[in-house]
Chains A and B, each alone.
With several copies, the nearest count.
Chain A
């Protein structure tokens, strides 16, 4: 415990001894992780953005004239059984008339010209939000359409299909880029720390020659790497915060439209924690593996 404290303070002293280089490494780590953070945030945002497109997806099916109540019940029950469906509502011809005259009071005189309600009966399906973008919704809609009692439907499947594809695209791209970015971040930070240690190989060699154990040499480097990684990722988090604070200003300047579309002010804390964890871990392991290389004789 005491050794850990001494080593940690040694690591800080080491960082202070090599101010410029530590500072540069620190900066590189911070900026590398900033990109990682931004990417994470973008993916996150795009996903929630694409969700606003797809909330409360409803489909309305208009029924043919003269459909029997039994047939309607059969269909609504069939639909209700489906797990993706949140709500099914039947609107009879007369109910449609009432709805119309309620919504358009000024036009209700038109209805008086008709003997019977001119509106078709309809079934409105509301899907659960979590299935809003599922391809299975599309097949359900297509299946219902084939029922003989259905006259027509009002739902833009084309858009829905495209949006589903889009959402998946965002997700796949996001995952893929996150993987690449983790890899790149690790690579950059690893190399920077390796450079840092490489230039101190003489120091490592001398320490060995005066009787230091491998761990005595390695430990401060490992701690140093972890410290650089930790503070680097902390800075990255702060920069991410500032960047996202700044973005709406820039966005407002560019396009008033985009402003407010996404809440750019709060960084999901999970991204923040991910950053710090990643930064510290990379710093730590980079130092560990890099220092090992220079502990040969």
Chain B
């Protein structure tokens, strides 16, 4: 359960990146977040895993007010969330395999468990043959798929994906969205920020639409600009 109550986010004094955003996403929902470039999608996602803190308002994850979580205990919140970053954020000095294994390693999983789960995630995104490459040595789309694999590998309760198919062709994008759908079917909440109108048409879900930091519409199957 993700709840926003009158959330403002101001990076610089003169303008708000988010203005009075309120919504709630039930456990197990599949939601698209859309809006023009600079509308505040990434900002909204960052607030959920507390990479940024709201200037005003409350954010509740599973009924817990995340404003109140101590920095030291943030990891507990974040272990429930799998994130595909818009800029991937892969560790450049580790291989694809190592990158995907990080969320499991930080949880102290056993080596054999890690291997099984990572190989599974790798085959889901079709990158088994790239497992020993470093991020710099694979294509943009391949990097994006590594980022997706890392987000889903530890079976989090919430998946946040920021433009997860920006570097993928239509076929692959559909496959990735199908994976998200399958994960969602297991009760995982999925929130995807995207511009891809084609995908939002193919996968008709609830759509949150931002414009200049304001939540201007919230509804199913709505046609995004």
Contacts and interface: CB of A to CB of B under 8 A. Distances in A.
Query: A–B direct touch, CB within 8 Å, in complex?
Result: yes
B89 interface: yes
Nearest to A216: B106
Interface string A257-297: 00000000000000000000000000000000000000111
Contacts of B93: 17-18, 203
Contacts of B89: 202, 206, 209
Residue of A203, A210, A216 with highest tally of chain B CB at under 10 A: A210
A211 interface: yes
Contact of B51 (A3, A17, A297): A297
Interface in A196-240: 202-203, 206-214, 216
B107 A211 contact: yes
B71 A212 contact: no
B102 A297 contact: no
B145 to A, nearest CB: 17
Contacts of A202: 89
A148 B118 CA distance: 99
B74 A208 contact: yes
A216 B71 CA distance: 14
A3 B76 CA distance: 20
A202 B92 CA distance: 10
A212 B91 contact: no
A203 B106 contact: no
Contacts, number: 48
Question: Which range holds the interface residue count of chain A?
Answer: 10 to 19
Contact of B75 (A17, A203, A206, A211): A211
A297 B78 contact: no
A210 B84 CA distance: 10
A207 B98 CA distance: 12
B91 A208 contact: no
Contacts of A212: 75, 102, 106
Nearest to A202: B89
Contact of A296 (B71, B76, B102, B106): B71
Contacts of A213: 75, 106
B79 interface: yes
B150 A210 contact: yes
B94 A208 contact: no
B72 interface: yes
A211 B78 contact: yes
Nearest to B52: A297
B142 to A, nearest CB: 18
B78 A203 contact: no
10 contacts: A17-B93, A17-B94, A209-B83, A210-B106, A211-B79, A211-B103, A211-B154, A214-B72, A296-B71, A297-B50
Given A203-B93, A211-B78, 14 more contacts: A3-B108, A18-B93, A202-B89, A208-B75, A209-B51, A209-B78, A210-B83, A210-B150, A211-B76, A212-B102, A213-B75, A213-B106, A214-B75, A297-B50
